[in-house]
Amino acid sequence: MTANETIHPTATATEIDASCKLPLLALLVGASVWLVIGSVMAMIAAIKFHAPDFLGACPLLTYGRVAAAANDALVYGFCLPASLAVIIWVFARLSQTVYALPLVPVVAAHIWHLGVFVGIVSILLGNSTGFAWLEFPRGGSILILVAFVLIAIPTAATFGFRRDRTLYPSHWFLLAALLWFPWSYASANIFLVAMPVRGVAQGVIDIWFGNNLLFVWFSLVGLGVAFYFLPKLTGRPLYSYFYAQYVFWTLVLFGTWCGIPAGSPFPAWIPALSNLAGWLLIVPVLGVLVMTVKTLGGAPVTTSSAETLPYFKVGLVAFIVSGIALHLVAHNEQLARITEFTWFGQAQVQLQIFGFLGMILFGALYYILPRALGFDFLFPKFTRAHFWFNLLGSVGLVIPLAIAGYAQGSHAYNLDAALPALRFSSMGLLLILVGNLFFAVNLLAMFLSWKITLVKSIFSAVTSPLTAVEVKS
Amino acid sequence: MKTGLPVIFAVVLGLGGSTVGFVLAPAVQLGSVKQTTVLNSTDLYPPQRIGDATLGLQVYRANGCAACHTQQVRQEGVACDVGLTGPGKNPQALSNLLSTLTLTHLTKEAADTVADQLTAAGGKVETHIVPAGADLDRGWGVRHSVAEDYLYDYPVQLGNLRAGPDLANIGVRSPDANWHLLHLYAPTSAVSNSKMPSFKYLFHLQKAGSTPSPEALNVPSSFAAPAGYEVVPSPEARQLVAYLLSLRANQPVYDAPFTPPAKP
């Protein structure tokens, strides 16, 4: 027995789950609050297209500020910390050992949510940096970068202490995600905020970061988590190790170059290269399609998988649709001309947030939370309702937005052409908001009952009479 | 795979490659862009923004105007225009011929045919190459946007959604500062079907004196302030308008050449 095995012996599932409890709670309680705040702000922004002067007297809630704050609250407030929580648990389970240094992510989670708070308030007060997806000013962005690194280090250490040395497909995707975010976020902030480059290069870097966050990072996390849960829930192996490796490499090599539209005011080689990458993106997308069909096709639904498996199915379908949309726009110049600068782009963003990553994270969390916290959801019916609200909401949000984009692009950007579909999409957003409330209520109720148990046990420990042994000594 | 090294290698290759390609290379190539000369002229382009216009970019940023407005004009290609420079000896025949011909937005071959016909009728013609594209047709610019247009912008506000019109040339299209102030205060008073939210918070009401204050905005009666009050733009509103008026990407440059219309 080596020293490593003595310090990090193989642990049972219950021990592993218990070791992740505090980091998960610290990350997810804040995340669920941001999820609700983000959805509400998105709703306020959407209402402005029904009534332009809704809450218009308040500069904090003008469309340009509240729309950016909503996006950032959803992505930095919910998607990233919830992803980190799932990664922490998946890594500990895959390593078959307890999570290393669980108190570090607890502290980091508080730093993270403080950073998001600083960032969102700054945007609303008009102190955003003005770069899409990098709106947080220096204070907020430094806090979340530090917090991410603080969470990544013990998570990587847990990976290092793994009992089974073989790497699973989930390992590659999630490990890459842990490296990806700090790298891209730091580079973009250095070149845009700390030592800004001159002129239009800012535009290239901003688009590069947005694509790397919303497409590449989301895909790495979403697919990595899905590839962990699919075999677990279906009871059959992932199809296949080879395909997973193929998807990983092509996604990493092609996905990172996508997103720069043809005709941007950049040197011609930049959009041309990006277009080529978008065209090649069909390769990993088809890979995921084959993996999904072959792993899930005809898999028996058991009582244990009935709750969570649908989330993963919908999430993977959303990924495939999202990837095909990126490919088509890169492939078809006419379509690109119609859809650029329209709500079509917003439809792709919402599909990535709610349809793909959101779905997979919710599925994973509904599986993880009862195990990690050691008791069931207080409102089990909400978990089922959340699925349907999120599914119908995503469809009702993304499809009308895409239609609005197409209508707008084929009518010379006349907003009136897009308005009917755009207004309809608010319905989808409303359903998502209700679904998110179900999630937040369930999670916060769980958190409160855990707190009450904790306080009760401390109280009883304090008030219990001293034992005879202690009195003697 | 038994170690994490291949994953780290993939990250270095994938993200490292695209960081070099889309962060460092543009920073080197575009970071050294300098003022350029306007074609067939000694004027430098772009002019440095001054005073209120510089501050106005920060008002534009703070209020997230780029959420709905782009500042980038697309061009799909070029077209040919045929211009008549002399009437020749038989103006009557030429004007009969002109009424049957299209002179603008032609392909090169069509332009040559038209030019030949006009020359045969005795006219003197000149063929110009002009930028063409849907954005230019709707009057949003005279050429596509180039790197120099953003030389003095920080942050560069390219935008990615056109809920409203493109603003790369708004200073050329709507050069009237009062129109802009009115549009910001009550959008529908300037553009009847506008969905832009009002930016009333950039204005304040003050008690009207016996004569209207020189700064007060001349608001149409249906949007007017309560009786006895007048609407005064805040410094931010004036800065924002100064910035909008400074958005004039209408000079021919090396990357986007065209022949500007002759000055009368």
Nearest to A328 by CA among A344, A351, A316: A344
Nearest to A270 among B22, B65, B74 (CB): B22
Reduced to 3 states, what is the DSSP secondary structure of residue B229? strand
**Do residues B210 and B189 both lie within one domain?**
yes
Contact B10 A252 (CB under 8 A): yes
CB of A400 within 8 A of CB of A428? Answer: yes
Q: Do A199 and B201 touch (CB under 8 A)?
A: no
Q: Using the 8-state DSSP alphabet, how is residue B144 labeled?
A: -
For testing contact with chain B, the best of A198, A208, A254 (most B CBs within 10 A): A198
Domain final position from B88, B114, B132: B132
Distance from CA of B98 to the nearest CA of A (A): 31
Selection from A250, A275, A180, A253 nearest residue A218 by Cα: A180
- Work out the minimum CA distance from B63 to partner chain A, whole angstroms: 6
Q: Is the pLDDT of residue B6 over 50?
A: yes
Mutation for testing the B interface, residue in A216, A413, A414 having most B CBs under 10 Å: A413
In chain B, which residues have their Cβ closer than 8 Å to the Cβ of A127? Answer: 62
Q: Which structural domain, as residue segments, surrounds residue B88?
A: 77-132
Would you say residue B144 lies in a domain?
no
Contact B17 A253 (CB under 8 A): yes
CB contact under 8 A, A205 and B153: no
Q: Provide the CA A175 distance to its chain's centre, in angstroms.
A: 15
Chain A nearest C-alpha distance from B23 (Å): 5
> How many A/B residue pairs have CB atoms within 8 Å?
218
β-bridge mates for residue B78, sequence order:
B131
- What is the rounded distance in angstroms from the CA atom of residue A71 to the CA atom of residue A128? 13
Look at residue B39 and tell me whether its pLDDT is greater than 50: yes
Is the CB of B110 inside 8 Å of chain A's CB atoms? no
CB atoms within 10 A of CB A424: 16
Count of structural domains, chain B: 2
Co-location of B91 and B124 in the same domain: yes
From A418-422, A452-456, B214-218, B242-246, the region with the lowest mean pLDDT: B214-218
**Contact map slice: B 130-149 vs A, CB within 8 A:** 134, 138, 144-149
Furthest C-alpha separation in chain A: 89
3-state SS class at B143: coil
Residues in B closer than 8 angstroms to A197, CB to CB, are 26-27, 30-31
Burial class (CB within 10 angstroms; exposed 0-12, middle 13-18, buried 19+) of A2: exposed
Residues B179 and B194 grouped into a single domain: yes
Contacts of A337 in chain B (CB under 8 A): 74, 76, 134
Please indicate, yes or no, if residue B251 is contained in any of the structural domains: no
- Contact present, A242 and A184 (Cβ < 8 Å): no
Which residues pair with residue B206 across a beta bridge?
B230
Inter-chain CB proximity B62 and A127 less than 8 Å: yes
Q: Do A252 and B13 touch (CB under 8 A)?
A: yes
- Kindly report, residue by residue over A261-320, the tens digit of the pLDDT: 888 899 989 999 999 999 999 999 999 999 999 999 877 777 777 888 999 999 999 999
Measure A265 CA to nearest chain B CA, in Å. 5
This complex has an ipTM of: 0.92
The reply to whether residue A132 touches residue B161, judged by beta carbons under 8 angstroms, is: no
Does a structural domain hold residue B178? yes
Neighboring chain B residues of A417 at a CB cutoff of 8 Å:
none
Nearest chain B Cα distance for residue A413, angstroms: 6
SS3 string, chain A, reads CCHHHHHCCCCCHHHHHHHHHHHHHHHHHHHHHHHHHHHHHHHHHHHCCCCCCCCCCCHHHCHHHHHHHHHHHHHHHHHHHHHHHHHHHHHHHHHCCCCCCCHHHHHHHHHHHHHHHHHHHHHHCCCCCCCCCCCCCHHHHHHHHHHHHHHHHHHHHHHHCCCCCCCCHHHHHHHHHHHHHHHHHHHHHHHHHHCCCCCCHHHHHHHHHHHHHHHHHHHHHHHHHHHHHHHHHHCCCCCCHHHHHHHHHHHHHHHCCCCCCCCCCCCCHHHHHHHHHHHHCHHHHHHHHHHHHHHHCCCCCCHHHHCCHHHHHHHHHHHHHHHHHHHHHHHCHHHHHHHCCCHHHHHHHHHHHHHHHHHHHHHHHHHHHHHHHCCCCCCHHHHHHHHHHHHHHHHHHHHHHHHHHHHHHHCCCCHHHHHHHHHHHHHHHHHHHHHHHHHHHHHHHHHHHHHHHHHHHHHHHHHCCCCHHHHHC
Whether residue B242 contacts residue B56, with contact meaning beta carbons closer than 8 Å, is answered with: yes
Q: What's the average model confidence in pLDDT over B85-94?
A: 78
Confirm or reject contact between B191 and chain A (CB < 8 A). no
CA–CA separation, B195 vs B140, rounded Å?
A: 19
Nearest-neighbour CA in chain A from B243: distance (Å): 16
One domain, residues B125 and B58: no
Mean pLDDT of chain B: 88
Contact between B18 and A208 (Cβ < 8 Å): yes
Q: In chain A, which residues have their Cβ closer than 8 Å to the Cβ of B19?
A: 183-184, 187
Q: Does B179 touch chain A (CB under 8 A)?
A: no
Shortest CA gap B134–chain A (Å): 8
Closest listed residue to residue A71, CA positions, set A112, A15, A128: A128
For position B263, what pLDDT does the model report?
53
Averaged pLDDT for residues B198-205: 93
Query: A288 to chain B nearest CA, in Å?
Result: 19
| Cα A75 from chain centroid (whole Å) | 6
The whole-angstrom separation of Cα A274 and Cα A293 is 29
Domain match, B87 and B123 both: yes
Chain B residues in contact with A259 by the CB 8 A cut-off are none
B26 within a domain of the structure (yes/no): no
Using CA atoms, how far apart are residues A369 and A375, in angstroms rounded to an integer? Answer: 8
- Which residues 1-60 of B are in CB contact (within 8 Å) with A? 1-4, 6-8, 10-11, 13-15, 17-19, 21-23, 26-27, 29-33
Interchain proximity A53–B197, CB inside 8 Å: yes
Q: Are residues B238 and B186 in the same domain?
A: yes
Choose, out of B28, B58, B59, B156, the residue to mutate when testing the contact with A (most A CBs < 10 Å).
B156
- List the single residue in B6, B150, B198 with the smallest CB-CB distance to A56: B198
Residue whose C-alpha is closest to residue B114's, from B131, B100, B93: B100
Residue whose C-alpha is closest to residue A345's, from B63, B67, B156, B18:
B67
Reduced to 3 states (helix: H, G, I; strand: E, B; else coil), residue B55 is: helix
Give me the residue from B65, B160, B165 closest to A64, CB to CB: B65
Question: What six digits make up the tokens of A115?
Answer: 């950073």
Confidence at residue A204, expressed as pLDDT on a 0 to 100 scale: 95
Q: What is the DSSP string of B73-87?
A: ----EEEEEEEEEE-
Task: Measure CA A143 to chain center.
Answer: 18
From B64, B158, B162, residue closest to A342, measured CB to CB = B162
Backbone φ and ψ for B83, nearest 5 degrees, come out as: -115, 140
Instruction: Report the share of chain B in percent with pLDDT over 70.
Output: 98
Task: Tell me, yes or no, whether B57 and B178 share the same domain.
Answer: yes
Yes or no, beta carbons of B23 and A212 under 8 Å apart: no
How many whole angstroms separate alpha carbon B212 and alpha carbon B217? 9
Contact residues for A15 (Cβ-Cβ < 8 A; gap 6+): A98
**Residue at B161: amino acid letter:** L
Q: Are A221 and A89 in contact (CB under 8 A)?
A: no
CA-only gyration radius of chain A, Å: 23
**A419/B22 touch (CB, cutoff 8 Å), yes or no:** no
B183 in a domain, yes or no?
Answer: yes
Going by pLDDT thresholds of 50, 70 and 90, the confidence category of residue B169 is very high
Distances (CA, A) of A384 to A295, A304, A311, A356, A363: 23, 13, 10, 18, 11
User: Under a CB-based contact definition with an 8 Å cutoff, are residues B184 and B261 in contact?
Assistant: no
Q: What are phi and psi of A104, to 5 degrees?
A: -65, -50
Interface contact B197-A197, CB threshold 8 A: no
B62 touches A at CB < 8 Å: yes
Chain B positions touching A70 (Cβ under 8 A) are: none
- Candidates B10, B65, B164; nearest CB to A248: B10
Mean pLDDT by runs of 10 across the 473 residues of chain A is 58 90 95 97 95 88 95 97 97 93 95 97 96 95 97 95 90 94 96 92 96 96 96 89 94 93 89 93 95 87 80 96 90 88 94 96 95 87 93 96 94 90 95 96 93 92 75 52
Q: Considering B115, B132, B149, which residue would you say is the last residue of a domain?
A: B132
Determine, yes or no, domain membership for B23.
no
Higher local confidence (pLDDT), A141 or B213:
A141
User: pLDDT at position A342, please?
Assistant: 93
For A170, nearest residue in chain B (alpha carbons): B7
- Chain A CB contacts of B240 under 8 Å are none
In this complex, the residue of A56, A196, A345 whose CB is nearest that of residue B197 is A56
